[in-house]
Amino acid sequence: MGSTAQSPAVTTHPHPAVLYPDVAARGSLAAALQAVAEECGFAVSVTSPDSSPLSHAAAESGLPYRKALIVSSWVAERRWSVRGEEPFEGSAVIRGDTDDLAQVAGAARAWQDGVALGDIRQAAPFVRLTGRFEVPEPDPVRLTESEWQRMRTEAGEQDRPAYQALIEAAYAEPVLRRLYPFTSHWTLRFSTTTRPNLTLIGPCLLADRVEQGYTVSKGFTGTGLPAEAATAQEAVAAAVRHLPEDPGPVTFGAIRDGRRSRSGA
């Protein structure tokens, strides 16, 4: 007899009320956060969506350059994640996860009160700074600087010395430092516009294992303009040679009226 194909296993998770009975008793994650905040001696303003009141909540900020802090419940275990974004690119400036709801409430209060990013950890030690700094206006030059800082912070946290060396070498090159950096599959790439609408420019730089050096190519899969470099500095120099003579200043990659715009207006 022929074998019968087996259906893939379906992963099921407990209902939020099972993992979070205290939240369910309050009716929403927002209400539970407000209650635990009161127990800790402070107040916080939080809302939950009607579609998922037990799993999600948002704390608005009084600062115009902060989007609402998003709180999300994990589905497989009792834990919460927070994410605080800047409004121009929708990029995270803080994030973190914890099983302590009181610390989540502390993070929400600090976010709402406009506490400086570096001081939020005093109220909520679980919060991690992504490295981005806050930009009050949609300034593409400052957003580019912020993204470089985020990328250097991230590279320093990874156990990938070749990748960190590549990021630092690219940042040290003035021509590349003026471009907006981003990565895909550990490949460093550049744009003449900020998020959310990137405009690719120049080659891709891939950091292989230290003993294998670096690859400079047209595509992030290693296709086109292939060049091998033994050091990060050599890879950066090769990338600069393949850039247009004057890439121009970085502009804001806005999306307007449902259409992508590459204008800095």
Q: Quick one: pLDDT at residue 140?
A: 96
Q: Which residues pair with 180 in a beta bridge?
A: 191
Determine how many CB atoms are found less than 10 A away from the CB of residue 6: 6
Q: How far apart are CA 190 and CA 192, in angstroms?
A: 7
265 residues of the chain, pLDDT tens digit each: 555 556 566 678 888 999 999 999 999 999 999 999 999 999 999 999 999 999 999 999 989 999 999 999 999 999 999 999 999 999 999 999 999 999 999 999 999 999 999 999 999 999 999 999 999 998 999 999 999 999 999 999 989 899 999 999 999 999 999 999 999 877 899 999 999 999 999 999 998 655 678 999 987 665 677 788 999 999 999 999 999 888 878 999 876 544 443 333 3
Q: Quick one: pLDDT at residue 6?
A: 61
Strand order in the sheet with 69-73: 56-59, 69-73, 80-85, 92-98, 128-129
> How is residue 55 written in tokens?
């799993």
